[in-house]
Structure 1
Amino acid sequence: MRYSTFAPPVSLSHLVRCFWVLESDAQSSGYIHRSMADCCTELLFHYKGLFHEIDEQERRTLSFRSGIHAQSYRYRRFITHEDFGIFGAYLYPYASKLLLNTPAAEFTNQMPDLHSALGPQGRELEERIILAPNTQERIRILSDFIHGRLSKLPTGYDHPAVSAVKYTVHAKHLPKVRDLASRFNLSERQFERKFSEYAGMSPKRFMRIVRFENACNLYRNKLEKSLTEIAYECGYFDQSHFIRDFKTFSGYEPGQYFSGHAEGTEWRD
C-alpha cells in the first residue's frame, strides 16, 4: 500500500488542503477501503482499477471513475480485487460553493460523478487526469482547472463564514458556537445560517466531526496513549460520548480502530 500527499500551490492553499495518491497491487482476498465521516470534500480520480461500494445489505454497486466525495457524517465501504491507483484533491467543504456555485449542503453525504457535477468539462477533466503520465502532471492539470474556475468568481466572495469554516477545520480546541460567531463578527443566527451554507452542515455537527477527526489523527500514536487520554485530549466530555460519536462516524468502537487491525486502515500505516 503506497500513500503520498503533496502540498498545493500557495495560490490554492485557501481551497485545497493537499493532493494525494493511493496505490496498491491486487490482493487475493480483495482490499476493503472505509471512508469515514469527514468535514471536508474530495475530488477523486481512479486512474487504475475501480471499486464497488458495499451497502449495509452487502450488495455491491460499481463506483465512479471520477467524482466528488462530499463532506459527510456517515461512513461507507468499498472493495476492489484489482491493482488500483487513485489521485485525489482534499478540499475545504466550501469548495462546492465556490467552484460549482452550489451550496455545500446539496452535496452532503453524496458522491456524484464528475460528469453529473460538471457536465462536458467533467468528462474532459477526467480524461486528462486518467491519461496523465505521472502525479506531478495530474497536480498541474487539476491546479490549472481550479485556477480557471476561481478566475470566474466575482471579487469579494470570501465571506467571514468561509474563514470560520477553515478555522474550525484546523481547531484543536473547539469553541462554542456563540464564541465562534463573535470571533467573526456575525450574530449567532446569521453565523449558523451562513456556516451551514458553506460547510454543508450545522456548526455543532461540523464540530463533532472535527473532534472525531482529531481523535483519528492520533492513530499513529495509538500505542502511546490510552483511549481515555485520546478522548480527553480531543475535548470529549466523557468516555461514553467518545465511543458513541466514534461508532456513528466510523462504524468502529474506538478500541477496535486503535488496535491497528481495523478494516480499511492499511493506508495509514
Structure 2
Amino acid sequence: MIFKEYKPSISLLPYIETYWIAEGYAKTKEIDKIFPDGCVDIIFSFNQIPNNGALVPYLPNLIGTMTTFSEISYYQNISMLGIRFKPAGITAFTKIPINYFTDSKTDLTLIDTLFEEKFYAKLPELETSIAKIKHIDLYLNQRLISIFELNNQIVYATELIKKTNGRLPLIDIANRSCLSLRNFERKFKTAVGISPKTFSKIIKFKHTLSYIKKNTTESLFSIAVDCGYYDHSHLIKDFKTFTGNTPLHL
C-alpha cells in the first residue's frame, strides 16, 4: 500500500497537520495497527464496499482522538484520503465538544454541517488524489471566513507538551497557560478530546518510539530513563496500551 502526506496551504496550517492518501491493492486480507497521536482525522473512503466494515464509503468519517491502538483490515482495492487536524485544530470548524468523538468513528453528515453535500459528492468524480486534496483545501480555505476562534491557551498547551516530549507536569502546563488546573483539564478535554494527562502520555510514547528506532542497542531501562519514565515497567505499560505490544515486539 502506498501512503503519502501533503501539507495544506499556508492559511490552513494553524488548523491542519497534513492531508494523507492511502492507495493500493491487497491480494489477501491485511491488518494494520494505527497508534494514537493526539489528533482528529476526517477520512474519505472511495471503495464501494468498506474493507474494514467501519468507514462509510464516499462520506466524511470522523475518527476521534484515540486513547489506544486501532486495527484496520484491508482487502482488494484500497483508496482513502484523510485530513489530520492539529490537536484542537478542528474546533475552528465545529462547536461540538471534541471529547464527544473520542475513540469512535462517526459519519459526520449525521451530526454536523462541516461539509456541504455538494462538496463531498464531487470528490469521487475527481480522477486523482491530488485533485481531491486540492478540492478539499480550496473548500476549507473558503470556510475560513466563518470559522470559530481557537482557544489559544489550549493550543499553547498542546505545543508546550509536544515541545517537552510529554515530560512537563500538568500543574506547570496549566500555570504557563494561565489557567487553574481544573479549568485547564476541562477546556483541554473539550478541545482536544482527551485529558492533558493522556495527551502527554501519547506524546511521550511517540517520542520514545522514535527514540527506540534510532537507538537500537540501548537497554530498555536506559531508554525509559532517557525518555522520562520512572522505570522500564512504566514504559512497557504505556506501549501495551498504545500498541498492544511491548517495545521489543513492534
TM bracket, shorter-chain basis: 0.7 to 0.9
- Compute the displacement of 1:20 (Å): 1.3
Counterparts of 1:35-74 in structure 2, within 5 Å, are 35-48=34-47, 51-53=50-52, 61-65=53-57, 66-74=60-68
**CA offsets 1:200-227 (integer angstroms, 9 cap, x no match):** 1211111111112222334653745544
- Alignment partners' CA distance in 1, 2:164 and 2:15: 17
List aligned pairs for 1:85-124, cutoff 5 A. 85-119=79-113, 121=115, 123-124=117-118
Q: Give the equivalent residue in structure 2 for 1:127.
A: 121
Q: Which moved more, 1:231-240 or 1:219-228?
A: 219-228
TM-score by length of 1: 0.81
Tell me if the contact between 2:166 and 2:203 (Cα under 8 Å) persists in the aligned partners. Answer: no
In the TM superposition, what are the counterparts of 1:201-216 in structure 2 within 5 Å? 201-216=194-209
- Structure 2 CA distance for aligned equivalents of residues 5 and 13 of structure 1: 14
Q: Distance in 2 between matches of 1:120 and 1:163?
A: 25
Q: Secondary structure at the match of 1:81?
A: strand
Q: Deviations over 1:17-68 (max 9, x none)?
A: 111112222222x121222223111111122465444xxxxxxx44322311
Per the TM alignment, residue 250 of structure 1 is displaced from its structure 2 partner at its CA by 1.5
Moved more, 41-50 or 205-214: 41-50
5+ long unaligned stretches in structure 2: none
2:175 paired with 1:176: no
Question: CA–CA distance in 1 between the matches of 2:215 and 2:111?
Answer: 39
Question: Deviations for 1:109-129, whole angstroms, at most 9, x for unmatched residues?
Answer: 111023224359354333223
Aligned counterpart, 1:163 = 156
CA distance 1:67–1:122, change in 2 (3 Å): farther
Distance 1:172 1:157, change over 3 A: closer
Question: Where does residue 210 of structure 2 map in the other structure?
Answer: 217
1:32 aligned residue: 31
TM normalised by structure 2 equals: 0.87
Letter in 1 for 2:179: L
Give 3-state SS (helix, strand or coil) of 1:217's partner: helix
Q: Measure the CA separation in 2 of the matches of 1:62 and 1:112.
A: 9
TM-aligned CA distance change 1:233 to 1:15, over 3 Å: farther
TM-fit CA distance, 1:102: 0.9
Matched to 2:207, the amino acid is N
**Distance (whole Å) between structure 2 residues aligned to residue 138 and residue 168 of structure 1:** 33
Backbone CA RMSD of aligned residues = 2.5
Number of residues of Structure 1 aligned to a counterpart in Structure 2:
248
SS at the partner of 1:26?
strand
Counterpart of 1:84 in structure 2 is: 78
Structure 1 position 152, deviation (Å)? 0.9
